[in-house]
């Protein structure tokens, strides 16, 4: 079975009971990391929505008309859509379509060119092909056709926007041939914004005129074959393996613009009215798609993550000062280029949408800290995120209150306070949330933050004057609050304030992604974690399955419970194109399956590489080049209930610690010699050399 393949055999369903449901579209998709397309249809035409990560309307204000906008639509007329098949080849970036007697090949090339080829009997080949741009949200549209090229321009400009944004879409018929009664026509579309090129219209025109269908098809396939060669997971359960691969593809096809990383809905924006303006929500939604990328050995997908975060630095400093602190604090959300989608004058907290939470910047640090521990790339950290992590820590140095030798977090709500604004807000109703003490998610995030900044600083040789304070905070931050629920001790959402909620997974995010509880945490803490985990089943939680399922692997729950949960998510929420239709956000749920499977197959966040730590040993499985903390690439095979192969490549020459039964020797694959190691029970450790592979027997 080809687990890089999927076939869609029916037209997209955009309404249910008369209500539009296509905000997370079900039609076939492909993209190149910046440019994305979604297949759709109207009553008689094939409609292909085009969107791009950097096409936004920069209209400020939380309830303004700003946000990510669609580029427009490619329409192909007179297509018989009753017979419908689109084959998605994720490892080639290719769609092969058959609509009645018409066949189509479709792909998005690396250089923001869309190509398609239409084959049809001559008598049925009268397919009008055109570009349509919407004029909603105040856009100004124009057209410029020359030399057989159709060029459409959409722009947002004027006094009501913070900065101009514009896009040019050029369509050209490349060739048309007839043979044996079949007409074959090839087309190319270029899409260029003013952020790509100052003279974006001429750039789009030049690109479409200079295109090469066959060369760019090869480049596209080489790109995706290379992407999937970075790591590999092989399972007996081919449905899960297939969704693992398609999820990574869909993440990668919207994570390629380093200046404009994906917001809530990536680059599958089909109109101008996506929820929450498609912005960057900082209390898990923006971060969640990145949970799985490091363990899957795709750190390159992180490259754009810090751009909007760093663009907010001056605003973050201003917001920290609102709370009397140095460093950085974040609102609940913002857009690219520090787009203000957070100012509301009647908000109780300085007219800014904090929604009672102070943890947003700390949450933003989770992903760069993951990058740090999995790569130990000192130069990259220094250039891209050390300053942000350092200044976020500076905020918490001031914001934490030390009482009786322990650091306490006050006035930081575990959940958003959704009505923390306006005259109708009833303070007494939300008294506990407003006056929260020691929200459990913030305790986990802050502890991870100080672990991360302390480790970075020591490796970089910076800020030695802070070491004693950071160590003290790590050692003396308040314990996670607990209480008795249904006769079992569980984690409480806050020491004072909200005790528990039956939706979302906020009360478990100190386990994952904050990485503060795991298999080394001791029996007592693990028992509390499992009591909390099973107090209600969150596997189908609209806002939390992407952290609930990986958290289960972290604490060692029954692996079948997690596998069943993955299948339930597929059955309940998976769409024909392999997206997931949840309420909470869009692309964040693509991380659920790869993050969970990776944690089941290999864990390393506690400084110990564990093989198949949460896996049914009767189910054969293997993986190649999963990335472990410490900058190691790990490959292993489980066969007949035993680990039959184990290889570890050290990228940075750090000490390697492995927990695995029965290891008797470690062999340097380059020199073919055994190297010394020390053992304690089933755990061994050994020194490594940079860029060297070791075989463990």
The tens digit of pLDDT for each residue in 271-288 reads 999 989 999 999 999 999
Candidate from 37-46, 485-494, 543-552 with smallest mean pLDDT: 37-46
pLDDT at 21 over 70: no
pLDDT at 31 over 90: yes
Q: Please write down the long-range contacts of 683-686, taking CB distance under 8 Å and 24 or more positions apart.
A: 683/608, 683/657, 683/658, 683/659, 684/657, 684/658, 684/660, 685/655, 685/656, 685/657, 685/658, 686/655, 686/656
Rounded Cα gap, residues 354 and 334, in angstroms: 11
pLDDT at 22 over 80: no
Predicted pLDDT of residue 67: 94
Helix (H, G, I), strand (E, B) or coil at 537: coil
In this structure, CATH architecture of domain 621-696? Sandwich (2.60)
Domain 279-500, CATH number (from 1.10.287.130, 3.40.980.10, 1.50.10.10, 3.40.50.510): 1.50.10.10
Rounded Cα gap, residues 39 and 35, in angstroms: 14
pLDDT band at 681 (very low <50, low <70, confident <90, very high): very high
Q: How far is C-alpha 146 from the chain's CA centre?
A: 40
Q: How far is C-alpha 79 from the chain's CA centre?
A: 35
Helix (H, G, I), strand (E, B) or coil at 424: coil
Predicted pLDDT of residue 673: 97
Structure-block tokens of residue 291? 């949970």
In the sheet that holds 94-99, the strands lie side by side as 5-8, 84-89, 94-99, 102-109, 113-121, 182-193, 165-179, 149-156, 140-143
pLDDT at 83 over 70: yes
Is this structure's pTM higher than 0.95?
A: yes
Rounded Cα gap, residues 198 and 47, in angstroms: 29
Rounded average pLDDT over 142-171: 95
pLDDT at 483 over 70: yes
Predicted pLDDT of residue 16: 60
pLDDT band at 593 (very low <50, low <70, confident <90, very high): very high
Give the Cβ contact number of residue 94 at 10 Å: 18
Answer yes or no: are the C-beta atoms of 401 and 411 closer than 8 Å: no
- Which alpha helices (H) appear in 235-325, and where do they start and end? 238-252, 306-311, 313-322
Give the chain's length.
697
Predicted pLDDT of residue 428: 77
Q: Average pLDDT over the chain, rounded to whole?
A: 95
Rounded Cα gap, residues 172 and 108, in angstroms: 15
Rounded Cα gap, residues 619 and 236, in angstroms: 7
Rounded average pLDDT over 18-43: 87
Predicted pLDDT of residue 345: 84
Rounded average pLDDT over 38-61: 93
Predicted pLDDT of residue 65: 86
What pLDDT digit, counting tens, does each position of 234-255 carry? 999 999 999 999 999 999 999 9
Give span(s): CATH 2.60.40.1180, the chain: 621-696
Rounded average pLDDT over 54-76: 91
pLDDT band at 417 (very low <50, low <70, confident <90, very high): confident
pLDDT at 585 over 80: no
Angle at 596 between CA 593 and CA 597, to 5 degrees: 80
Predicted pLDDT of residue 236: 98
In this structure, CATH architecture of domain 5-233? Distorted Sandwich (2.70)
Give span(s): CATH 2.70.98.50, the chain: 5-233
Give span(s): CATH 1.50.10.10, the chain: 279-500
Predicted pLDDT of residue 423: 75
pLDDT at 432 over 90: no
pLDDT band at 419 (very low <50, low <70, confident <90, very high): low
Rounded average pLDDT over 23-45: 93
Q: Which of 448, 438, 261, 456 is nearest to 378 (CA)?
A: 456
Answer yes or no: are the C-beta atoms of 328 and 395 closer than 8 Å: yes
Structure-block tokens of residue 227? 């992407």
pLDDT at 167 over 80: yes
Burial code (b: 16+ CB inside 10 Å, e: under 16) for 129-143 equals bebebeeebebeeee
């Amino acid at each position: 079975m080809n687990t890089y393949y999927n076939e869609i055999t029916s037209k997209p369903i955009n309404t249910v009971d008369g209500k539009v449901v296509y905000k997370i579209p079900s039609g076939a998709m492909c993209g190149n990391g910046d440019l994305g397309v979604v297949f759709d249809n109207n009553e008689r035409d094939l409609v292909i929505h085009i969107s791009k990560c950097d096409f936004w309307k920069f209209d400020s204000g939380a309830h303004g008309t700003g946000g990510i906008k669609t580029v427009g639509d490619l329409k192909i007329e007179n297509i018989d859509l009753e017979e419908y098949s689109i084959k998605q080849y994720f490892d080639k970036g290719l769609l092969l379509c058959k609509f009645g007697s018409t066949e189509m090949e479709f792909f998005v090339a690396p250089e923001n060119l869309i190509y398609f080829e239409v084959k049809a009997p001559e008598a049925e080949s009268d397919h009008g092909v055109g570009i349509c741009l919407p004029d909603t949200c105040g856009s100004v549209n124009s057209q410029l056709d020359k030399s057989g090229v159709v060029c459409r321009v959409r722009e947002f400009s004027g006094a009501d926007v913070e900065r101009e944004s514009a896009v040019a879409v050029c369509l050209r018929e490349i060739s048309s041939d007839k043979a044996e009664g079949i007409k074959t026509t090839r087309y190319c579309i270029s899409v260029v914004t003013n952020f790509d090129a100052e003279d974006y219209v001429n750039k789009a025109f030049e690109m479409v005129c200079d295109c090469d269908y066959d060369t760019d098809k090869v480049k596209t396939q080489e790109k995706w074959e290379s992407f999937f060669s970075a790591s590999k997971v092989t399972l007996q359960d081919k449905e899960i393996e297939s969704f693992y691969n398609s999820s990574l593809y869909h993440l990668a096809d919207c994570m390629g613009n380093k200046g404009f990383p994906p917001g809530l809905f990536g680059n599958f924006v089909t109109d101008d009215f996506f929820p929450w303006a498609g912005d960057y929500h900082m209390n898990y939604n923006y971060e969640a798609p990145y949970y799985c990328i490091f363990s899957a050995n795709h750190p390159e997908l992180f490259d754009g993550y810090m751009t909007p975060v760093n663009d907010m630095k001056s605003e973050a400093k201003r917001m920290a000062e609102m709370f009397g602190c140095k460093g950085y604090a974040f609102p609940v959300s913002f857009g690219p280029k520090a787009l203000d989608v957070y100012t509301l004058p009647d908000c109780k907290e300085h007219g800014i949408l904090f929604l009672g939470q102070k943890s947003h910047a700390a949450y933003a640090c989770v992903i760069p800290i993951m990058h740090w521990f999995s790569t130990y790339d000192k130069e990259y950290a220094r250039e891209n995120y050390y300053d942000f992590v350092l200044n976020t820590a500076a905020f918490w140095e001031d914001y934490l209150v030390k009482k009786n030798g322990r650091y306490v977090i006050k006035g930081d709500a575990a959940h958003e306070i959704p009505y923390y604004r306006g005259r109708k807000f009833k303070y007494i109703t939300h008294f506990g949330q407003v006056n929260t003490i020691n929200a459990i998610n913030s305790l986990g995030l802050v502890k991870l933050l100080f672990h991360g900044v302390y480790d970075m600083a020591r490796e970089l040789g910076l800020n030695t004057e802070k070491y004693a304070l950071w160590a003290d905070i790590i050692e003396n931050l308040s314990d996670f609050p607990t209480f008795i629920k249904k006769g079992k001790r569980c984690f409480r959402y806050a020491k004072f304030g909200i005790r528990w909620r039956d939706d979302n997974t906020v009360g478990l995010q100190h386990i994952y992604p904050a990485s503060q509880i795991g298999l080394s945490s001791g029996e007592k803490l693990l028992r509390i974690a499992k009591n909390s985990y099973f107090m209600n089943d969150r596997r189908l939680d609209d806002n939390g399955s992407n952290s609930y399922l990986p958290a289960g692997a972290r604490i060692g729950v029954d692996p079948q419970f997690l596998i069943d949960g993955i299948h339930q998510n597929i059955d309940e929420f998976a769409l024909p194109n392999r997206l997931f239709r949840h309420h909470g956000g869009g692309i964040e749920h693509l991380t659920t399956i790869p993050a969970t499977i990776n944690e089941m197959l290999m864990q390393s966040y506690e400084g110990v590489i564990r093989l198949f730590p949460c896996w049914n040993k009767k189910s054969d499985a293997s993986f190649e080049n999963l990335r472990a903390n410490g900058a190691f690439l790990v490959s292993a095979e489980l066969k007949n209930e035993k680990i039959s192969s184990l290889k570890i490549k050290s990228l940075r020459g750090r000490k390697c610690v492995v927990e695995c039964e029965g290891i008797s020797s470690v062999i340097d694959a380059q020199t073919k010699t055994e190297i010394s190691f020390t053992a304690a029970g089933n755990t061994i450790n050994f020194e490594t050399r940079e860029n060297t592979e070791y075989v463990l027997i």
